Amino acid sequence: MRQPLRKFRKLTEGERAGALTFALVGACSAGLGYLAVLHLDQNAFLDEMSWYQTWVVVASGLGGLIALFLSGDRMGQSGTTGALRGLAGAIWVTFIGSLIGGTLSLPFYGTMFGPFIVTVTLLGVPLLAILWAFNLFGVHVLMGIYQRERDSIFMPSKMTIRDHPNSLRPRMQGRFS
């Protein structure tokens, strides 16, 4: 019973941050899909949800996960450029996630109405839009932890020192002038 916990504890901090990032986006995208279902049919809250409405919620979660995976390195970069890329990544995850979720839930029509329904839902409830923005900010921070760990693994230590004797700049200084 405790074996899966031991395996999870062996993950590095960056790997745990990456896993938590995907869990956050999947859960919040599914929650946003559930709120979109409630926005379209208020009776789904009091009555039990149909199989199709359940599929819409699952497709929304999958759309968010796929969009985060496809966002690549837009999220998690440091500096001003990284913040702008993070903003573009947040818009990417929101739009592409709703596009994928809409396509999975209702092919052809869902591709068009998925982003529209998410936009209407976020504009209709500003508190939800603020929570979604804070969620994506948290994703940006967690992906930053993951990216820094990945960069530290694949970057040799001597490349972090500026003007190291073995770097190309000091060796080629003055030869091309």
Task: Encode pLDDT of 43-58 as tens digits.
Answer: 666 677 788 888 888 9
> Cα–Cα–Cα angle for 157, 159, 160, nearest 5°?
75
Q: What is the pLDDT of residue 122?
A: 87
Residue 166: CB atoms within 10 A of its CB come to 10
Angle between helices 109-124 and 126-154 (to 10 degrees): 110
Residue numbers in the chain where pLDDT is lower than 50: 177
Instruction: Collect all residues with Cβ–Cβ distance below 8 Å to 112 and sequence separation of at least 6.
Output: 102
Rg of the Cα atoms in the chain? 21
pTM tops 0.85: no
Instruction: Determine the Cα–Cα distance for residues 68 and 55; give it in Å rounded to an integer.
Output: 20
Q: Residue 99 in contact with residue 118, Cβ under 8 Å?
A: no
Q: What is the pLDDT of residue 87?
A: 93
Q: What is the pLDDT of residues 62-87, one digit of tens each?
A: 999 999 999 888 888 888 998 999 99
Instruction: Determine the Cα–Cα distance for residues 22 and 50; give it in Å rounded to an integer.
Output: 26
Token readout for 67 is 């969009």
Q: What is the pLDDT of residue 13?
A: 85
Q: What is the pLDDT of residue 49?
A: 77
CA distances from 33 to 14, 56, 99, 137, 163 (A): 28, 7, 12, 20, 52
